[in-house]
Structure 1
Amino acid sequence: MNKTNTRNFAIIAHVDHGKSTLADRLLEKTETVSQEKMQEQFLDQNPISRERGITIKLAPVRMNYRKNSEEYILNLIDTPGHVDFSYEVSRTLAACEGAILLVDATQGVQAQTVAHYHSAVRENLFIVPAINKIDLPEARTEEVEKQLLEMFSIEKADIIYISAKTGQNVDKLLDAVIDRIPPPEGSLESPFKALIFDAFYDEHRGVIVYTRIFDGSLKKGERIGLTQSKNSSIASEVGYFTPFLKEESEISAGDIGYIVTGIKDIRLASVGDTIHKSGERVSAMPGYSQPKPMVFFGMYPRNTHDLQKLKESLHKISLNDTSISFIEERSSFLGSGFRVGFLGLLHAEIVKERIERESNLDILLTMPHVLYEEGDSGIKEPYIELTIYSPKDYVGAIINLCETKKGNMLNLSYYQNSAILKYELPYTMLVRGLSSDLKSISSGYATIDYELAGFRQADLVDLRILINGVDIDVLSEKVYRDEAMFLAREKTKKLKEALPKKQFRQIIQAAISGNIVAREEVPGQD
């Protein structure tokens, strides 16, 4: 089939705006999945993702669609909406020519809507704006339409009004994808060149890479090389996503497909690497910045005999989630365990739940910590550029909150009844619950997006907790000097309330830089 009838596109949106439901309708409309086999969130094969109602992993699918008696191939990549998984969106956009920008008619433009729109524009993608959930009684369609017109370079005539739930106007959206998003460019005659935008490890077949082919073609059995890792292997299988893997004899320029590489270490086939045929020279694709773990927890098995089982479980997960890092550590209080790095708090929750389910383990997570840089000039902490989207009625409360969180306002702008606030502040504040604090003071309306803004000098001291003179390392942390005394008293008071009585007296102490500054006591049982 001529590649002029191929469209590669993504669905981008804020969390809960209906991406997965729209993907379901597209699968139905194109008859990719029969109604008998259809289930909600069809592309979300992860059971935790289904239960939480959120997409946590990008999912590609190839659909066939007829328009005006012509057959088209539509390659869709569904994307996550939560800020912890924004890197998945950036990887997806590099594999596409266009994107459906989906906005909930009841909620309007949110923080991730803005972030994903600008990411798509940076990739020079063609945008198809769609307002979803127009069937709901609480839909504010006209108001949301005005938001799109004011905030983005969007024309009113370009907006498609849909209900992903009922299927209303979804056929018009498919037609718009075909009419507005250009076909992929590339030359079949040029040497084979493809970009890895995702990968997973199969214990029987090795690393299977998800790839966008930009030039040339590749057949099963041909030898391939990787530009960054310099590794080579044989493509033991190639094919497309239906959404399950479907083997084909060949994949070629313009396609989104997969390659079974046989490579046994996923780190040798990293996302963002360029694939070529062995013996052929091609220029490397720009690739991606690799996601870095930002939040670190101590992870310990409740049963010390499960340590090896926990290590195996972490290793298994890291094979398909290279954003996780872990090293062994020992706590004088909890024994042996691991220091595990995650992209954010939700990422940590999901991994913990996966380990407990898949390995039948009962595990403990210690307090979260951020990654500090320590050098001759002192300690530096990570900062983020935070974007807050909220109804304008809550701006005053949000400003007050951000000031207490050591925030520095960068910008404040208004659109109709909404406001966008930009702050630079320590990443630690997110770990301490800034997101839930914002939800609380805004009646649940405020949403956030953020990106790392580098490291800044921090005035930190060590706050250590002792019980009967024994240092409880899992409760110790670095804190800001100006908050240290308050946090020391708070911690000792909370521990007094939480610790069960024993036959002996328990003395709780907090020490700052080695000096005892707070003390509480749990009396022994009579």
Structure 2
Amino acid sequence: MNSTSKIRNFAIIAHVDHGKSTLADRLLEITGTIPKSKMHEQFLDQNPIGREHGITIKLAPVRMFYNGYMLNLIDTPGHADFSYEVSRTLAACEGAILLVDATQGIQAQTVAHYITAKKEGLKIIPVINKIDLEAARVNETRNQLVEVFGFKKEEILEISAKTGKNVSNLLNEVLEKIPSPYGNEKNSFKALIFDAVFDEHRGVILYIKVFDGILDKNQKIKLYQNGTESIVNDLGYFSPSLVSQKSLSLGEIGYIVTGIKDIRQARVGDTVFIKDKEITPLPGYFSPKPMIFFGMYPKNSADLIKLRQSLSKISLNDSSITISDESSAFLGNGFRVGFLGLLHAEITKERIEKENNLEIILTMPQILYKKEDPGIFYEPYVRLLIYSPQKYLGSIMNLCQKRKGKLIDIKYLEDNMIAKYEIPYSVLIKGLSAELKSISSGFASLDYELIDYRIANLSDINILINGVLIDVLSEKAYKDEAASIARKKITKLKESLPRQQFRQIVQGEIGGVVIAREEIPPFRKDVLAKMSGGDRTRKDKLLDKQKKGKSKLLQTSKIEIPQNALYALLKEN
């Protein structure tokens, strides 16, 4: 029996909030990896923001020992924004636990993660969770797993991750059904980088899965894609803290401390190998690219340097974020920051504000358009997967059609359905998810993936106050919707802006043509208050003098939008 026969590498995959982290807690407890005195909920979720939201936002590996076997578990995020974390996790595993909440049944990301696991050729163990709850629909959920994925009823496990019921049986299934790692220990060392983090004192730490050979401390290694070379300062495994050991061998999941000072040199999906050895690189995967961009500005301009340092620090451990300088006539200097999605942006903003005691403003979200021909823009499209009870199908179809979606396929499953649409990504980020939840009484769930870029019929909406362009409120919109959006913005601005000593003319402009206009009258002093009488010409002279003063003020005064008014507008968008 070779050493790899006693190794099991697996992940837990599920829709958000179906109990992945709770199950991971029980596994840590049952295997004795973490003493009960030190256990707390969501033990593997080290990110405090993620813990507050009750979701996993970063993959988390841990090594456990059970009945003579080495179990390497990787807990994965469930939200669609972090689906790339799931795909790279599965590339380092031979099996996966597909967890389904008995109170909710199969959801959109259950389907998406199952498809990803099948593409990787993993052995999947279907598990129904939360069977201890009164609202559990175990039979219905079991039938869904059989109908949607083709599992046999007898292979579906029923557990309660919260109470620990049947979790030991699940561990035995992992030992029995998930295959041991493949490869050859006699070959030269070769491993896949499935994640990397930056440590201020130790440099870049690579998270790896060994596919061939053995690696020892102090050996010289090389990264295949960019040729970066380093010495192995330390290596070991996750427990879940870093535990040093002498070597990493075939099939193990562990870490390498490299001393590399720039995390961008360590690309996730790259192959790491012994320097001067000839190897065939492992099939990697594409690094995630930002899908949505925000302008990020400090509320207090004096905090600009503090914000720059905070963003730089975050980017060291989140290579999916892109940062570039940006300036606004109304918000001053700031940064244009690219994120994977709205939740990714929200969590990053919260982290910056809490860790650095900063108040920041995010401008309206913008997507990345491609411009290949003069005046022609291409926008990203996504394949949208919607899972919902059948009775909401009509409302969902009407909404998606109204929001420029194209129906590709519908599959019916007892009382539920799965609909596939192709839809512009810009539509998705502007409230589609909330609208779906609203029309389905909260039952609909969705998942998405980028498919391609397509021609977009766009117009530029410019917002002006007294002829001055308000850059942070201007945006691109579909031509058939631009006029309506401009009118809403102008109406909202009129409600939000305080009166000044001069008249404010708020305009919405499309293609150089003003299509919406509102006027905010100035404060007006009663210049006739002290006059008890007198002829009309004297009164007219005072009123004309006031009128000329207002006209001069209109020409010379600087347009200012109070931050609270601007923030309210940006937050609404």
Output the TM-score relative to the length of structure 1. Answer: 0.98
Structure with the larger helix share: 2
* Structure 2 residue 50 is the aligned partner of structure 1 residue 49: yes
**1:410 is matched with which residue?**
408
| Alignment match, 2:475 | 477
Between 482-491 and 109-118, the greater mean CA deviation after superposition: 482-491
Q: Specify the alignment match of 1:339 in structure 2.
A: 336
Which residue of structure 1 aligns with residue 63 of structure 2? Answer: 62
Match for 1:51: what amino acid?
E
SS at match of 1:55: coil
Q: 1:266-277 maps to which residues of 2 (within 5 A)?
A: 266-277=263-274
Q: What whole-Å deviation, never above 9, does each CA across 1:289-333 have from its counterpart, x for those lacking one?
A: 110101100000111111111111111111110110011011111
- CA distance in 1 between partners of 2:167 and 2:486 (Å): 57
CA distance in 2, matches of 1:237, 1:6: 22
Structure 1 residue aligned with 2:226? 229
The answer for the alignment partner of 2:180 in structure 1 is: 183
- Looking at structure 2, the residues matched to 505 and 150 of structure 1 have their Cα atoms a distance apart, in angstroms, of 66
Q: For 1:186 and 1:489, locate their aligned partners in 2 and report how far apart those are by CA, in whole Å.
A: 63
Counterpart pick for 1:263 among 243, 260, 264: 260
Question: Which of residues 354, 358, 363 in structure 2 aligns to 1:366?
Answer: 363
Structure 1 residue 436, shift from structure 2 partner: 0.5
Aligned-residue offset at 1:522: 2.1
**Per the alignment, in what secondary structure is the counterpart of residue 109 of structure 1?**
coil
Per-residue CA deviations over 1:410-443 (Å, capped at 9, x if unaligned) read 0111000101111111100111110001000000
The answer for the alignment partner of 2:116 in structure 1 is 119
Deviation at 1:191, TM superposition (A): 0.3
Q: How does 1:10-159 map to 2 (within 5 A)?
A: 10-66=11-67, 71-159=68-156
- After superposition, residues 117-516 of structure 1 pair within 5 angstroms as 117-376=114-373, 378-516=376-514
Offset at 1:503? Answer: 3.1
C-alpha offsets along residues 328-384 of structure 1, whole Å, 9 cap, x if unaligned?
011111111111100000000001011111122111000001100012151111111
Structure 2 residue matching 1:208: 3-state secondary structure: strand
Aligned residues of 1:387 and 1:420 also touching (Cα < 8 A)? yes
| Cα distance in 2 for residues equivalent to 1:37 and 1:52 | 22
Q: Secondary structure at the match of 1:57?
A: coil
Matches of 1:525 and 1:50, distance apart in 2: 50
Which structure 1 segments of 5+ residues have no match?
Answer: none
Name the residue aligned to 1:521: 519
- Show CA shifts across 1:90-122 (max 9, x none): 000000000000000000000000000010000
Whether the aligned pair in 2 keeps the contact of 1:191 and 1:216 (CA below 8 Å) is: yes
Normalised TM-score (structure 2) = 0.90
Check the 8 A contact 1:369/1:431 in 2, yes or no: no
For the pair shown, the structure with the greater C-alpha radius of gyration is 2
Distance 2:96 2:499 in 1: 59
- Between Structure 1 and Structure 2, how many residues are aligned? 522
Structure 2 residue aligned with 1:5: 6
AA matched with 2:202? R
- CA deviations on 1:4-63 (whole Å, 9 max, x unpaired) are 111000000000000000000000000000110000000001111111100000000000
Q: Distance in 1 between matches of 2:523 and 2:100?
A: 59
Runs of 4 or more, structure 1, over 4 Å off, are: none
Q: For each residue in 1:125-161, what CA deviation from the matched residue of structure 2 results, as whole angstroms up to 9, or x when unmatched?
A: 0001100000000000000000000000311111110
Contact kept in structure 2, 1:210 and 1:256, CA below 8 Å: yes
Mapped contact 1:382–1:455 kept (Cα < 8 A): yes
Hey, what's the Cα distance between the residues in 1 that align with 2:26 and 2:512? 62
Residues of 2 paired with 1:58 and 1:369: CA distance?
Answer: 27
By how many angstroms is 1:519 displaced? 0.5
Summarize deviations over 1:158-187 as a string: whole Å, max 9, x none.
111000000000000000000000111121
What secondary structure sits across from 1:394 in the alignment? helix
Q: Give the secondary structure class of the aligned counterpart of 1:36.
A: helix
Shift of 1:471: 0.5
